[in-house]
């Protein structure tokens, strides 16, 4: 799965993340941000909140907790997290996820 994404996605700017084991390539738009995530097995995103987020699991599996409700997501499963909702995720296996953020600069590019 190291090459799950094609080269043109892997060549997008890297997001400046503080989550160990997670790499993200981002595409900036004038109405939001698209991010292609790769999470190593055992990585986690702690509970947090921000603007609207929609995503889909492309490969692997994640346990996503939204407003205190945990659910497992597998390839093809999508989710929506309304603005301000507390959420976090755990990844038991290496996982690829595509997310769209309403926040214009949810992540900044890595310097």
Taking only the tens place, the pLDDT of each residue in 37-67 is 999 999 999 999 999 999 999 999 999 999 9
The answer to whether position 107 is within a domain reads no
In-domain check, residue 41: yes
- Domain of residue 72 covers 12-101
Widest pairwise Cα distance in the chain: 37
Query: Does 77 map to a domain?
Result: yes
CATH number at residue 76: 2.60.120.10
What residues contact residue 33 under an 8 Å CB cut-off, 6+ apart?
26, 27, 100, 101, 103, 104, 105, 106, 107
* Domains held by the chain: number: 1
Task: Write out pLDDT tens, residues 4-21.
Answer: 999 999 999 999 998 999
Kindly state whether residue 84 falls inside one of the protein's structural domains: yes
- CA 108 to chain CA centroid, nearest Å: 14
Between CA 97 and CA 83 the distance in angstroms is: 19
- In sequence order, the β-bridge partners of residue 66 are 69, 87
CA 53 to chain centre: 9
Would residue 2 count as lying in a domain?
no
Segment 79-98, tens digit of pLDDT: 999 999 999 999 999 999 99
């Amino acid at each position: 799965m190291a090459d799950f994404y094609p080269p043109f996605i892997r060549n997008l700017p890297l997001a400046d993340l503080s989550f160990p084991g997670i790499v993200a390539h981002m595409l900036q738009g004038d109405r939001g941000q698209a991010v292609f995530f790769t999470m190593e097995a055992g990585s986690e995103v702690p509970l947090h909140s921000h603007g609207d987020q929609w995503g889909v699991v492309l490969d692997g599996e994640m346990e996503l907790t939204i407003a205190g409700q945990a659910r497992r997501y597998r390839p093809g499963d999508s989710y929506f997290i309304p603005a301000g909702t507390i959420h976090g995720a755990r990844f038991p296996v290496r996982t690829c996820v595509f997310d769209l953020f309403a926040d214009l600069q949810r992540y900044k590019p890595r310097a």
